[in-house]
Amino acid sequence: MNAKRKLATDINNLFSSADGVVQRFAMPFEDRKGEVKVVAANHNVIIDSSTVTERPISSWQHLNERPFVELNFMLEGSMYQSQGSLLKKQRFDKGYYNLLFNPGTIEKSEFIGTGRFRNVGIHLDPERAKMLFTSDIPELAYLAEKIERQEPFLFQNGVPGMNSSMKYLLDTLWVHADSAGLTKLHFEAYNLELLSLVCSSLIRQEHNHSDVHINQTDTEKLHYAHEVLLSNLADPPLIRELALLCGLNEFKLKKGFKQMFRTSILAFVNEHRLQSAKTAIYLREKTISEIAYELGFSHAQHFHRAFKKRFGETPKSLIKN
């Protein structure tokens, strides 16, 4: 059996390993030295690869026959990795990490330069990952749907480097008791803590930069939020109240609303208030002060400033026209 075939076979066999039993074996290649440490814990498998090279080496690849959700951390050196259309020769530098799901793909890796390399992969059973995303990480609950549909996804840290908590956990990963039972608990706790830290970091990144996943049910709820706001321009519900009315969490309500309607909730309300005020002024059925008050402006001066900023003219100028 050649090195590539042996590597693929070894990796896929790891998922049937006994929980809490740490295994060590040498790299199955002639052109590099190194060791792989492996342990399973409650449907998760940790693979820690340490390699030393004295000269540039060729790339290697294997087929991910078994689907799993991955957490990957680059601790030493740099490498390229490709996985179908999800990763196209992505560079992993020291401090890089990601969360991905890409079942049934060929994974190709290539070290950059020579020296020391270390990367840690945590492989979560899809059913276990679905349960965690659904019950414990509501902001990422849509990932459970992607896993169910066998739909790939990738999150990676936008800012280079790991925080101190991640570094500590990975530096002390193999400090554990001798008992197999306690070893299992140790690694299960580490898996969950690392998943929590990565998801927290990526949620913040997503909140600042990325769109959220919106399915058909979310679309209907966001349209309902749109209708509620239009019906209550004078006294719109607070974000938490609107989220409860629509059945969305506050994060998805705010991000999803802006994504779908290309404006924030506050900007939406203000824009429609002013447009309604402009129409009412043209009708001349009420005074400007009455219109401002009925649309939720507590002070006439605030209304005048907002109106002029939006339309380039004062409310009174419309009456004179």
**Segment 274-315, tens digit of pLDDT:** 888 888 887 788 888 888 888 888 777 778 888 888 888 888
Give Cα 103 to chain centroid, integer Å: 18
pLDDT band at 8 (very low <50, low <70, confident <90, very high): very low
Q: Does domain 267-320 have CATH number 3.30.390.10?
A: no
pLDDT band at 15 (very low <50, low <70, confident <90, very high): low
Q: In the predicted model, is pLDDT for residue 47 greater than 90? A: yes
How many Cβ atoms are within 10 Å of 78's Cβ, its own excluded? Answer: 16
Higher pLDDT, 31 or 200: 200
Q: In what order do the strands lie in the sheet with 33-41?
A: 23-26, 33-41, 44-53, 115-124, 69-76, 97-101, 153-156
Q: In the predicted model, is pLDDT for residue 28 greater than 70? A: yes
Taking the domains of the chain in order of start, what are their residue ranges? 3-209, 216-262, 267-320
Q: Which residues 6+ apart lie within 8 Å of 262 measured at CB?
A: none
pLDDT tens-digit map of 68-87: 999 999 999 999 999 988 88
Q: In the predicted model, is pLDDT for residue 13 greater than 70? A: no
pLDDT tens-digit map of 138-166: 778 778 888 988 989 988 886 668 888 99
Task: Say which CATH topology domain 3-209 has.
Answer: Jelly Rolls (2.60.120)
pLDDT score, position 88: 85
Average pLDDT for the chain: 85
> What's the CA gap between 79 and 88, in Å, rounded?
12
Say whether 267-320 and 3-209 share the same fold. no
Percent over 70 (pLDDT), the chain: 91
Cβ atoms of 303 and 294 closer than 8 Å: no
Q: In the predicted model, is pLDDT for residue 12 greater than 80? A: no
- In angstroms, the Cα distances linking 111 to 52, 55, 59 are 10, 10, 7
> What's the CA gap between 40 and 20, in Å, rounded?
6
Higher pLDDT, 59 or 193: 193
pLDDT band at 14 (very low <50, low <70, confident <90, very high): low
Q: In the predicted model, is pLDDT for residue 190 greater than 70? A: yes
pLDDT score, position 166: 92
Q: In the predicted model, is pLDDT for residue 66 greater than 80? A: yes
pLDDT score, position 266: 83
Higher pLDDT, 220 or 260: 220
